[in-house]
Structure 1
Amino acid sequence: MFGWTGRTIAVDLGSNSVTESRTKKKDAEQFIGGRGLACRLMADLTGPHTEPLSPENPLILCTGPLTGTTAPMSGHFTITTRSPLTGTIFDSNAGGLFGAEMKFAGVDCLIVTGKAAEPVYIRIEDEEVEILPADHLWGKNTGETASVLGTRGKVACIGRAGERLVPMAGMVSDGYVAGRGGHGAVAGSKNLKAVVVKGSNKPEIAEPEAYGKAVERMNRLLIANPPVSKGLANYGTAVFADLLSYMGILPADNFRNTGSSSGQGISGESIKENYRTEKTPCFACPGGCRRTFEDGFQVPDYDSLWALGPNIGGHDPEIITKINSMCTDYGMDPLSCGSAIAAYMELQGAGLGEEELMALVRDMGEGRSELAAGSYSYLCSMEKGRGSMSVKGLDIPGYDPRSMAGMALAYATSNRGGCHLSAFMAAPEVMGKPMVLNRLTFDGKAALVQYFENLAAVIDSLVICPFAVLALGEGELASLLNAATGKNYTAERLLRCGERIYNLERMLNVREGFSRKDDTLPERFFGKDGLDREAFMNALDDYYHFRGWDEKGRPTREKLQELGLGEQIDLYS
């Protein structure tokens, strides 16, 4: 197959076995790759109430049909599992260089199940797959682990947070944490320290001439798009800070405050003016929003700058960078970490100094603090769970839903939980891309949210950078996919794939007990100076209507038949 390698690797750590099979052609075409193909595998491999930290819960790493090609923003891969933080199916779109190397090694999907008797890591080099001892790596954080294994290939690994089953632990590749939902804890529960990949096979393109023209058109669109070519390319994702702050919608102090000064000191413009940085772009990225300070520390992205800055009452980028670096080394999601600290500070009614913050983050990384379980679990233990700024247990990032009605609906209906990338409504509501929307009203948002959710599912399955949504639509993506694979996707067919993926994810969540009651927002966001609850509920009803779901938020039998999902999971027995 062009685009896909046709190779799926299943590793059972319990039996120390490796099995290879052909990636199913029908599944690849209907679910594309990445997020979609992993979701299809999760439906096959898990039953009701599969415990996230049980050996039976798969950890699935997937490339997509565009991964590792010369298409811009195409170096990504996905990690999918059932989340120990939220209980939902949870995918993470991860950048860097690991995804391209995994594709060069000829892998569509790596499925890891079981639990090793002792710590191990998986090494893949082209046709060779090995399960190797990792006793010498257990107890090390991600920086040291990557340094030891980096001579053997590209590395995705866990730190001590993953080893200690911290629910906000992720896997770290190329210095960034992937898997806000606790993917690192799932790896740790399997005694899996790392995956190392090295490949020598470049993806083959079905129609080189058409592909070259599609890539050229994509590059032109990206260059012509100011948020990408002027904003992200020059200032990184921190460019969002000044814009959101200027509009008065950058939240601070655990969403208790907003204002024009809340982004002070953390903006991309301020960082570029006061510090020397260099670009460290992902594979095949023409923009390069990722950056490194001259001392080698990663420049935190916007989510980390906000979560470890204004969200906990801070604005010093140097302190934020230190805490972010500690989170990354432990393999712990900085956004969830900052949100848990913000909840703690609000509950205690007091701030924390730099040393206190560093000590608290260290305790979280070591699994010694109640905060390590996340803000929702921590506040529930205090019988104050309703005060968590989260949806389905996942903390909401730094885009205040009280001033972005579409984002509010997207947070509520996201299959992952409070995630802005499930439908990046900041694009039309804040940046006017690809259209300008009135951010203060729910009018017309229900149909658009489900469109952007479907488009995001496509992007995560191709797999390319989520910021592609700022410049590229389903038409451009279909043309590129067709040239790469030799298939015949229309824009409508591609979006239908996204809809199929989103509905299957919803079915997996419904099977675990999620329903309309979970499609909501924290109480803080409703009422005076907030969202109108009746307008929100009406928008949710409209959203279910456009989705073809019933009043409980379940896909109807008719919708499942329409999408070819009627035999997947019986929701109505």
Structure 2
Amino acid sequence: MFGWTGRTVIVDLGNNAITESRTKRKDAEKFIGGRGMGCTLMDRMAETEVGPFSPDNPIIFSTGPLTGTSAPLSGHFSICTRSPITRTIFDSNSGGSFGAEMKFAGIDSLVITGKSETPVYLHIEDEEIELLPADHLWGKNTTEITGLLESRGKVACIGKAGEKMIPMASMVNDRIYPGGRGGHGAVMGSKNLKAVVVKGSNVPEIADIDAFDKAVERANRLLVANPPASKGLASYGTPVFVNLLSYMGILPADNFRKKEFAGAQKISGEFIRENYEIHKTPCDACPIGCKRTFNDGTPVPDYDAVWTFGPNIGNDDLRTIIELNSICLEYGLDPVSCGASIAAYMELNSFTAADLDLKGLLREIGEGKSELSVGSYSYLCSKGAKDISMSVMGLEISGYDPREMAGMALAYATSNRGGCHLNAFMVAPEIMGKPMLLKRQGLDGKAALVQYFQNLSAVIDSLVICPFTAFAMGEVELAALLSAATGVDRSAEELLCAGERIYNLERVFNRRPGIPINNDTLPDRFFGKDGIDKEMFERALSEYHHFRGWNENGVPTRKKLGELSIAGETGT
């Protein structure tokens, strides 16, 4: 096989057993890799009644057919599991160089199940795979863990938050790259798995080198010609969104009670660049380099962290934001969910940022000593105030206000992983005008476009490449890269069909008995006089279900599943 290594590794922590199987060509061609491969493996392995912290809940690391190649933005990998926050299937796309190292080690997918009796870490070096004791690592946070293990390879690990199975716990790879908004770190902690360390020496094989080089050259030209990527992100990193969204009047603040924030300039990407010396720390094969560190190695917060610890809690002190972001990376915590939980706590109790020891509170969350450790939705349900949680399916919404981005509103509501903006990156067409500029506030025509971007995002996450790809490339360019890499000719239409297949299989998984049903809606705060017209939204949602080929409850029909060749699944 070209593009794919043909190797799937299965680790049963409960039995201390490591087995290998061939990656099925049919699966690779139908589900591509990454998110798609994780989805189909989860569908086969995770029983309906299995909870997120059950030993039988797998956590799956997957590469894609472009991982480890020279294709731009291809240095990512996917992690998939059943989320302790949403209880649904939940994938996460993480950057750095860990994914490329997995591919160099010859792995398409790494499936980890079971629970070890004692703390362990997994070490992979090409064909050699072993489980090693991690008692000496338990109780330590991610920077220390990485320092102790990185001489053996690239490291993905959890901090104390994962050990304590905090639902907001993520894993951190390559020191500064968080992965797993859905509680992937908590699932690792429930298995007593502290880290995965991987080192490889193989070079991925390309089917048609000449065609691949041409496709790579074209992709790079498109990135250079794309100002949001080559000018905005390359110059200022993701905090470039702060001033842009503020200028457009759509920077949400104070737990989405406001649509503007007076202190935006003081925490913007432009301010950071003008006042600090920073260094690019790009993912593997990335010509943009939106990830940065300060001189002392401290990570520059991404937009998500700047927003959630800035406007979302009414804070314009950049130094505090930097420190809170660093605490999240240390403990292995998702910044968005943490900041949203603090914002909801502040609203419930009428606190301001000045009233709180924010760093102390965040450390308590990471230690499992705060009632906020369960996340905003569970916390507020316990207080009889769940309407204050700005979440979908229990996952807190990111910092893009759906009241001013109608496509984003519909995308949040119909997302398979809750309030995540990356399930359909509508920021590209509604804010950046890529590949076309859409009227932000209107819902007309958005049902079909949201479906398209959800399918495209599923493709991007399955290849596995950076979500910012959507700024410059579409299915035509991606199909050319995939076809040349694998030797399997794929048209743009076939590639989008694969994305649709993945999205539908996730939806079927999420609508099984025993899993809370997402009603495809948003918190009430976003509807009404100063927000979204509820009747127009319901009409657009009905239209969306129609475009999807789903019934009125948002469930894929047998006919649709048949069209997508999803064998053995049941619709209504």
Q: TM-score, normalised by structure 2?
A: 0.99
1:163 aligns with 2:163: yes
1:116 aligns with 2:116: yes
- In the TM superposition, what is the alpha-carbon distance from 1:15 to its structure 2 partner? 0.2
- CA–CA separation in structure 1 for the residues paired with 2:35 and 2:501: 12
Question: 2:440 aligns to what SS in structure 1?
Answer: coil
Question: 1:162 aligns to what SS in structure 2?
Answer: helix
For 1:11-90, list aligned pairs within 5 A. Answer: 11-90=11-90
- CA–CA separation in structure 2 for the residues paired with 1:535 and 1:468: 31
- In the TM superposition, what is the alpha-carbon distance from 1:49 to its structure 2 partner? 2.5
For 1:481-492, list aligned pairs within 5 A. Answer: 481-492=482-493
- CA–CA separation in structure 1 for the residues paired with 2:222 and 2:191: 43
Match of 1:286 in 2: 287
- CA–CA separation in structure 1 for the residues paired with 2:15 and 2:236: 48
Question: 1:265 aligns to what SS in structure 2?
Answer: helix
Match of 1:254 in 2: 255
Match of 2:380 in 1: 379
* Amino acid in the other structure paired with 2:469: A
- CA–CA separation in structure 2 for the residues paired with 1:512 and 1:410: 24
For 1:559-570, list aligned pairs within 5 A. Answer: 559-567=560-568, 569-570=569-570
Match of 2:506 in 1: 505
For 1:141-290, list aligned pairs within 5 A. Answer: 141-174=141-174, 175-259=176-260, 261=262, 263-290=264-291
- In the TM superposition, what is the alpha-carbon distance from 1:295 to its structure 2 partner? 1.7
- CA–CA separation in structure 1 for the residues paired with 2:567 and 2:39: 16
Match of 2:362 in 1: 361
- The answer on whether the counterparts of 2:63 and 2:102 sit within 8 Å (CA) in structure 1 is yes
- The answer on whether the counterparts of 1:515 and 1:554 sit within 8 Å (CA) in structure 2 is no
- The answer on whether the counterparts of 1:251 and 1:262 sit within 8 Å (CA) in structure 2 is no
Going from structure 1 to structure 2, the CA distance change for 1:484 and 1:264 (only over 3 Å counts) comes to: same
- The answer on whether the counterparts of 2:212 and 2:484 sit within 8 Å (CA) in structure 1 is yes
- CA–CA separation in structure 2 for the residues paired with 1:130 and 1:79: 20
- The answer on whether the counterparts of 1:458 and 1:495 sit within 8 Å (CA) in structure 2 is yes
- CA–CA separation in structure 2 for the residues paired with 1:508 and 1:49: 12
- In the TM superposition, what is the alpha-carbon distance from 1:353 to its structure 2 partner? 3.6
Question: 1:264 aligns to what SS in structure 2?
Answer: helix
- CA–CA separation in structure 2 for the residues paired with 1:355 and 1:307: 15
- CA–CA separation in structure 2 for the residues paired with 1:295 and 1:355: 27
Match of 1:329 in 2: 330
- The answer on whether the counterparts of 1:252 and 1:262 sit within 8 Å (CA) in structure 2 is no
Match of 2:522 in 1: 521
* Amino acid in the other structure paired with 2:297: G
Query: What do residues 517-548 of structure 1 show as CA deviations (whole Å, max 9, x unaligned)?
Result: 52100010000110000000000000000000
- CA–CA separation in structure 1 for the residues paired with 2:464 and 2:88: 21
- In the TM superposition, what is the alpha-carbon distance from 1:513 to its structure 2 partner? 5.3
- The answer on whether the counterparts of 1:33 and 1:461 sit within 8 Å (CA) in structure 2 is yes
Aligned residues: 571
- In the TM superposition, what is the alpha-carbon distance from 1:282 to its structure 2 partner? 0.3
- CA–CA separation in structure 1 for the residues paired with 2:261 and 2:350: 23
Deviating more after overlay: 517-526 vs 351-360: 351-360
- In the TM superposition, what is the alpha-carbon distance from 1:514 to its structure 2 partner? 5.8
- CA–CA separation in structure 1 for the residues paired with 2:481 and 2:518: 39
- CA–CA separation in structure 2 for the residues paired with 1:251 and 1:260: 7
Match of 2:431 in 1: 430
- CA–CA separation in structure 2 for the residues paired with 1:413 and 1:201: 40
Query: What do residues 425-444 of structure 1 show as CA deviations (whole Å, max 9, x unaligned)?
Result: 11111111100100011000
- In the TM superposition, what is the alpha-carbon distance from 1:198 to its structure 2 partner? 0.1
- The answer on whether the counterparts of 1:244 and 1:250 sit within 8 Å (CA) in structure 2 is yes
- In the TM superposition, what is the alpha-carbon distance from 1:386 to its structure 2 partner? 2.0
- CA–CA separation in structure 1 for the residues paired with 2:515 and 2:153: 40
- CA–CA separation in structure 2 for the residues paired with 1:34 and 1:410: 21
Match of 1:104 in 2: 104
- CA–CA separation in structure 2 for the residues paired with 1:379 and 1:410: 24
Query: What do residues 381-427 of structure 1 show as CA deviations (whole Å, max 9, x unaligned)?
Result: 10111221000001001100000000000000000000100001111
* Amino acid in the other structure paired with 1:134: A
Long gaps (5+) in structure 2: none
- CA–CA separation in structure 2 for the residues paired with 1:386 and 1:513: 23
- CA–CA separation in structure 2 for the residues paired with 1:270 and 1:549: 47
- In the TM superposition, what is the alpha-carbon distance from 1:87 to its structure 2 partner? 0.9
1:447 aligns with 2:451: no
- In the TM superposition, what is the alpha-carbon distance from 1:512 to its structure 2 partner? 4.4
Question: 1:401 aligns to what SS in structure 2?
Answer: coil
- CA–CA separation in structure 1 for the residues paired with 2:298 and 2:51: 36
- CA–CA separation in structure 2 for the residues paired with 1:125 and 1:386: 49
- The answer on whether the counterparts of 1:516 and 1:553 sit within 8 Å (CA) in structure 2 is no
- CA–CA separation in structure 1 for the residues paired with 2:264 and 2:373: 26
1:456 aligns with 2:466: no
1:137 aligns with 2:141: no
- The answer on whether the counterparts of 1:214 and 1:480 sit within 8 Å (CA) in structure 2 is yes
Going from structure 1 to structure 2, the CA distance change for 1:494 and 1:437 (only over 3 Å counts) comes to: same
- CA–CA separation in structure 2 for the residues paired with 1:517 and 1:3: 36
Query: What do residues 140-167 of structure 1 show as CA deviations (whole Å, max 9, x unaligned)?
Result: 0001000000110000000000000000
- CA–CA separation in structure 1 for the residues paired with 2:264 and 2:536: 30
Percent identity over the alignment is 66
- CA–CA separation in structure 1 for the residues paired with 2:513 and 2:400: 28
- CA–CA separation in structure 1 for the residues paired with 2:319 and 2:230: 26
- CA–CA separation in structure 1 for the residues paired with 2:170 and 2:413: 23
- CA–CA separation in structure 2 for the residues paired with 1:29 and 1:262: 49
- The answer on whether the counterparts of 2:48 and 2:514 sit within 8 Å (CA) in structure 1 is no
* Amino acid in the other structure paired with 1:160: K
- The answer on whether the counterparts of 1:422 and 1:453 sit within 8 Å (CA) in structure 2 is yes
Going from structure 1 to structure 2, the CA distance change for 1:537 and 1:550 (only over 3 Å counts) comes to: same
1:351 aligns with 2:345: no
- In the TM superposition, what is the alpha-carbon distance from 1:18 to its structure 2 partner? 0.1
Query: What do residues 201-253 of structure 1 show as CA deviations (whole Å, max 9, x unaligned)?
Result: 01111100010000000000000000000000000001111110000000000
Long gaps (5+) in structure 1: none
- CA–CA separation in structure 2 for the residues paired with 1:52 and 1:263: 38
- In the TM superposition, what is the alpha-carbon distance from 1:363 to its structure 2 partner? 0.4
- CA–CA separation in structure 2 for the residues paired with 1:469 and 1:571: 31
Question: 1:19 aligns to what SS in structure 2?
Answer: strand
- In the TM superposition, what is the alpha-carbon distance from 1:571 to its structure 2 partner? 4.3
1:316 aligns with 2:317: yes
Going from structure 1 to structure 2, the CA distance change for 1:233 and 1:518 (only over 3 Å counts) comes to: same
Going from structure 1 to structure 2, the CA distance change for 1:104 and 1:354 (only over 3 Å counts) comes to: farther
Q: TM-score, normalised by structure 1?
A: 0.98
- In the TM superposition, what is the alpha-carbon distance from 1:177 to its structure 2 partner? 1.4
* Amino acid in the other structure paired with 1:184: G
- CA–CA separation in structure 1 for the residues paired with 2:513 and 2:120: 31
Going from structure 1 to structure 2, the CA distance change for 1:243 and 1:228 (only over 3 Å counts) comes to: same
For 1:521-540, list aligned pairs within 5 A. Answer: 521-540=522-541
Going from structure 1 to structure 2, the CA distance change for 1:512 and 1:419 (only over 3 Å counts) comes to: farther
- CA–CA separation in structure 2 for the residues paired with 1:529 and 1:346: 19
- CA–CA separation in structure 2 for the residues paired with 1:59 and 1:144: 23
- The answer on whether the counterparts of 2:511 and 2:517 sit within 8 Å (CA) in structure 1 is no
Question: 1:252 aligns to what SS in structure 2?
Answer: coil
Going from structure 1 to structure 2, the CA distance change for 1:162 and 1:535 (only over 3 Å counts) comes to: same
* Amino acid in the other structure paired with 2:119: P
Query: What do residues 93-146 of structure 1 show as CA deviations (whole Å, max 9, x unaligned)?
Result: 000010000100000000000000000000000000000000000000001000
- In the TM superposition, what is the alpha-carbon distance from 1:516 to its structure 2 partner? 7.0
Match of 2:127 in 1: 127
- In the TM superposition, what is the alpha-carbon distance from 1:263 to its structure 2 partner? 2.2
